[in-house]
Amino acid sequence: MSSIMNVDYNNYVGLVGTAHFTRRSIREAYDAVKSLKPRNIALELDWTRFRQLNTACLACSRRGSCEGICEFTSAAEALGNLDANIWLIDMTEQEMRHRMMTKASCFENFRPRIHRYPTEDPVWLWERGFKDRVVENTKKDIATLRQVSPSVWHVLIDERDLLMSARIAWIVSNGALEEQRPQVLAFVGAAHVEGMKELLGKPELIKAELVEFELPFTEPTLVRRVSVHAD
């Protein structure tokens, strides 16, 4: 963690909030990569989920025309001939489950699960451009989760915000000595954007909360480097 500097990382990072598997998010991811041509792409994935998504797409007979491709795969594919790194910044599912189990109180473990069905279809709203309404509805769901299952909320939102922000800060810091300033374009679920922006603007908070939450820092995974090919 010593590589994280006291700078406002929001000056180096573009956070794109997405709604997974919606066509609008796929287009936004593709357009953002093509427009900004970032040196680094950061995805809300771990290696297992990244591999599963890409393997499924490679084996699919509808590859190239399928509407089920997610924005993360689309962003990676949009790099094309750009000389850019792809980083995986999220917790593994095993880590999430373990941390939720170890932090849950007896009350939470025996409390009946409350299943809330959305009154508005988030995919329908997102596809039609009502992104702000989806975000607001998501905030309400998160607030409910925080009351009902605070340990689950803490891991799925707070701790993932923290680890992904720490890993993005690490990517920026470790590229700072290069001639060209590092730039990171990060694709995360819309619910993570607000918290991550706050953390990236206060690197001292990242360090303090990693200690407070007893959350071990590990470096993000670099899955491949995209080489530049002659046209």
In a domain, 20, yes or no: yes
Averaged pLDDT in 10-residue chunks for the chain of 231 residues: 78 85 69 84 90 67 54 68 83 92 68 53 60 66 71 90 96 67 83 94 95 95 64 43
Residue 123's identity, in one-letter code, is: V
Q: Is residue 231 part of a domain?
A: no
Q: Would residue 218 count as lying in a domain?
A: yes
Q: How many domains does the chain have?
A: 1
Beta bridge partners of 87: 42, 222
CB under 8 Å to 135, separation ≥6 — which residues?
A: 17, 190, 191
Residue 231 is predicted with a pLDDT of 43
pLDDT in the model for residue 49: 85
In the sheet that holds 221-226, the strands lie side by side as 13-18, 184-189, 40-43, 84-88, 221-226
4: in domain = no
Can you give the pTM of this predicted structure? 0.77
Whether residue 119 lies inside any domain: the answer is yes
Per-residue HEC secondary structure of the chain comes to: CCCCCCCCHHHCEEEEEECCCCHHHHHHHHHHHHHHCCCEEEECCCHHHHHHHHHHHHHCCCCCCCCCCCHHHHHHHHCCCCCEEEEECCCCHHHHHHHHHHHCCHHHHHCCCCCCCCCCCHHHHHHCCCHHHHHHHHHHHHHHHHHHCHHHHHHHHHHHHHHHHHHHHHHHHCCCCCCCCCCEEEEEEHHHHHHHHHHHCCHHHHHHHHHHCCCCCCCCEEEEEECCCCC
Confirm whether 167 is domain-assigned. Answer: yes
Decide if 120 is inside a domain: yes
d(C-alpha 198, C-alpha 194), whole Å: 7
Size of the chain, expressed as the number of residues it contains? 231
pLDDT at 211: 95
- pLDDT for 114 equals 46
pLDDT of residue 109: 55
Q: Which domain holds residue 156?
A: 9-225
Is 1 within the bounds of a domain?
no
Helix axes 160-173, 203-212, angle to 10 degrees: 130
Residue 148: how many other CB atoms lie within 10 Å? 15
